Amino acid sequence: MSKVAVRGTLLDCISNPWDCAQEKQALRFIPDGVLVVEDGKIVESGASSEILVKHPEAQVEDFSGYLIVPGFVDVHLHYAQTRIIGSFGRQLLEWLQTYTFPEELKFTSKDYADEVAAVFFQEMFKNGTTTVQSFATTHPNSVVAFFEEARRQGALALCGLTGIDREGTAPDAYRDTPQGFYDGSKELLERFHQVDRCLYSIAPRFAFGSTHEQLKMAGRLAEEHPDCWIQTHLSENPAEVASVLEFFPDCQDYLGVYEKYGLVRKRFVAGHSIYLSEDEFRRMGDADASVAFCPASNLFLGSGFFQWDRANHFGVRWGLGCDSGGGNTLSALRTLDDAYKVGMLQVVTSDREKDEESLRLSASKALYAATLGSARCLDLEQEIGNFEKGKWADFVILDTGGSSVLEFRKNGARPSDSLEDACHQFFGMMMLWVPEVIRATFCKGRRVFG
């Protein structure tokens, strides 16, 4: 592939703003910058006045006036629920029975799975997301379709066969068996893990839906494949938490169930983690495990508020997930809008001891959460998350004046005028999101949208 120089205002994170004395220190801002891309990777980035002369053969793609940020990283969603996104009126357990399982049962058909996977990746790119960790269903076809489409599109994609075998928690036709889950996962893992940009996530859906025998199999897979990811759900909804404690009376708490089977380790990514005790947060941090924060879903399903100030306090890495279809959006920017409001509601309403400053999701913290923070959550910061040389060339071109009100709010300023203007405009796009703010999306240096 020939060398390309993409020019515009570059904004990325080089460290965690929650850890910086001044959070802006976490940002790298280059008003007239350029990303040099070759063979899908970033060869160099910096000020165009310095970089362009070093690469005279590069073909320039000029996005002057636009803001260029790293591709968004979504650490938790369900691609198989793309068609039931925005379903009315149920909390988690009822919502699963009413909408989710009937839809996910259709993924016995490879053709159906192919159709949804193709739509799903197009929608991701339209929203600027270039890395996804997704659940599939209990049918191997659902995983095959997902990885095949990811390979076609060049997206960085994590996925795995869903495990759910407990009687009464899902329709009989949907449930698998401990051995079926083990064998199916093993076969898919051997076929797709580390092929192109596909990575395998061992995926027991949640302790609510898995028996002791199935979680034992998940633990065996995790032990046999320490380089694989583990994704599941943890402490999402009070009714779910209560049932899990009944199903596993020998475990002290919800996290204790996953610990019992050896799943809680680096690359363990637990969706939601809303009702964790201080001790569970501490143990997550000690194990170097991660949380997927899914604010759109937590609000849409009425699940509750993730306390990221406590996660930060205990050194628990967390990333951002839209959790479609429990979340009513596929947009990372829209998800940040909800994340901001979850933080603000806790500042105002919660009487627990809290770090108010930490809970105010500024533009730099939000950008971090959707890019480098989520890359770290997935233990993929060596490959994605910012514009460091050698990383994948996954990035989004943002039109900060994508609607009349966004343009009006800019008050004549361009994103290149100052870091403050760039942050003000990024925050504006979060809070007043419209599809038009995504001008183009590049995956592995290839334009996949716009």
Contacting residues toward Zn ion, per CB under 5 A = 271, 323
201 neighbors 270 (Cβ within 8 angstroms): no
367 neighbors 27 (Cβ within 8 angstroms): yes
**In whole angstroms, how close is the CB of 140 to Zn ion at the nearest point?**
20
**In whole angstroms, how close is the CB of 296 to Zn ion at the nearest point?**
11
Distance CA 105, CA 289 (A): 31
How many CB atoms sit inside 10 A of residue 38's CB?
17
Task: Report CA 343 to chain centroid distance, whole Å.
Answer: 18
Burial readout 269-286 (b: 16 or more C-beta within 10 A, e: otherwise): bbbbbbbbeeebbbbbbe
Closer residue to Zn ion in complex, CB, 33/325: 325
397 neighbors 52 (Cβ within 8 angstroms): no
**In whole angstroms, how close is the CB of 137 to Zn ion at the nearest point?**
13
Helix (H), strand (E) at residue 319: strand 317-320
**In whole angstroms, how close is the CB of 232 to Zn ion at the nearest point?**
9
**In whole angstroms, how close is the CB of 123 to Zn ion at the nearest point?**
17
Closer residue to Zn ion in complex, CB, 74/323: 323
Task: Report CA 390 to chain centroid distance, whole Å.
Answer: 22
Closer residue to Zn ion in complex, CB, 147/293: 293
**In whole angstroms, how close is the CB of 201 to Zn ion at the nearest point?**
12
Distance CA 263, CA 136 (A): 19
383 neighbors 392 (Cβ within 8 angstroms): yes
**In whole angstroms, how close is the CB of 34 to Zn ion at the nearest point?**
38
Closer residue to Zn ion in complex, CB, 58/322: 322
Closer residue to Zn ion in complex, CB, 305/392: 305
Closer residue to Zn ion in complex, CB, 297/312: 297
| DSSP secondary structure code for residue 226 in this structure | T
Distance CA 264, CA 283 (A): 9
Maximal C-alpha separation, the chain: 67
Q: How far separated are the first and last CA of the chain, in Å rounded?
A: 20
**In whole angstroms, how close is the CB of 233 to Zn ion at the nearest point?**
6
**In whole angstroms, how close is the CB of 431 to Zn ion at the nearest point?**
25
Closer residue to Zn ion in complex, CB, 35/276: 276
Closer residue to Zn ion in complex, CB, 271/415: 271
Closest CA to 293 of 225, 368, 219: 368
364 neighbors 23 (Cβ within 8 angstroms): yes
Task: Report CA 316 to chain centroid distance, whole Å.
Answer: 16
Closer residue to Zn ion in complex, CB, 107/427: 107
